[in-house]
Structure 1
Amino acid sequence: MSSKTKNIILIAGFILALFLCYHFAVKNTLQEKQRYNKLKAEEVMFENIPKQLLTLNKKNEYYTGLLKKYQLGETSLQNNLLKTINKKAGELNLKVIDFNEPHIARKNGLNINTYTITLQGSFNNMIKLIYSLEQQTRFGELVNVHFIKQKNYRTRREYLQATIMLQAYL
């Protein structure tokens, strides 16, 4: 055998030895390193779970408090609005004459519900109810309030009616 052949066999053997070393040792080590890093990341994630749970419980208490503060319950917005209006109207000696189904419009991907409410009673009490709807609850924004003085010809008495339009964005 010549030295050239010996060198070629030596280089081929060296390359084969490198391939076998990589295949049986280095490849497994790299896979185990990846698995270790993945498990380490999961460990960090599991260490944060109690903190996340505590944060979520605090958020839940905060949002529950907001729902109670703004008188929003588990039922629909329309039912909550009617319940609130009836409660305030009873306190302020007002009559709820009309509460229609909402007019629903769609604009820029949002549903806009417009509720029309008609009340009868004294001006000051109506203003108090309107203020309460606007400032103490978060049902939506008042877009129109229309007062009209009417006369009942049978009793020959005059009374005041207010038509309120309230928009809620859903």
Structure 2
Amino acid sequence: MKLDNKNKMLLLGFVALLFLSYHLAIKKTLSLRADYLGNLENQELSKNIPLEIARLNHKEKYLDAQFMELNVSSSAFQTDLLKFLNENNTTQSVKLIEFKSPHFFQDKSTENVTYMMKLEGHYTEILKVLYALENQSGFGMISHTSFEKQNNHRTQKEHLQSSVFLKLVY
């Protein structure tokens, strides 16, 4: 069976017509349908947003009332911090030498509070207490630490003191 020129042109024209119809109409239709289905999913998800907002507002009011009942303030924070330091100091044989009053600093939209303290003990034990203070307790971040070796002239013994600045951002 031989194909003559008319049949070859007809077959070539049909293939070209299929190719053009896909690129000009079908491809755009398929992409628009995918966008439409994605928007339908987003519409279903957005129906629950007002209920979620109401639930979160109710939860926020409840938690605020609980905090007001417990009277959570900076003095309670200082008490918790001192309690944590004393518990860790007994397990790590580190002494809390000095705990100064907090320093408050107001930035544009945030309030920074810095607690200054001095610890005395061995280097590794002080580092363990600092690690527990920053990573395990959630009290804040340590903004500065300095170590100083001091000599007790009366007993002729040396000890290591560390000045620690603990920073909180509200």
TM-score range, shorter chain: 0.5 to 0.7
Over aligned residues, Cα RMSD in angstroms? 3.0
User: Aligned partners of 1:97, 1:122: CA distance in 2, in Å?
Assistant: 14
Distance 1:147 1:113, change over 3 A: same
State the Cα distance separating 1:75 from its structure 2 match: 6.3
Distance 1:74 1:106, change over 3 A: closer
SS in 1 for 2:83: helix
Letter of the 2:109 partner, please give it. G
**TM-score normalised according to structure 1 size:** 0.57
Aligned match of 1:135: 135
Number of residue pairs the alignment of both structures matches: 110
Letter of the 1:98 partner, please give it. E
User: Aligned partners of 1:142, 1:159: CA distance in 2, in Å?
Assistant: 22
Letter of the 2:99 partner, please give it. F
Q: Is the 8 A contact 1:115 1:166 kept in 2?
A: yes
Aligned match of 1:76: 76
Distance 1:143 1:119, change over 3 A: same
SS in 2 for 1:117: strand
Aligned match of 1:103: 103
User: Aligned partners of 1:100, 1:52: CA distance in 2, in Å?
Assistant: 42
User: Aligned partners of 1:117, 1:73: CA distance in 2, in Å?
Assistant: 20
Distance 1:143 1:74, change over 3 A: closer
- Structure (1 or 2) with the larger CA radius of gyration: 1
Off by >4 Å, runs of 4+ in structure 1: 72-75
Mark the runs of 5 or more structure 1 residues left unpaired by the alignment.
1-47, 61-71
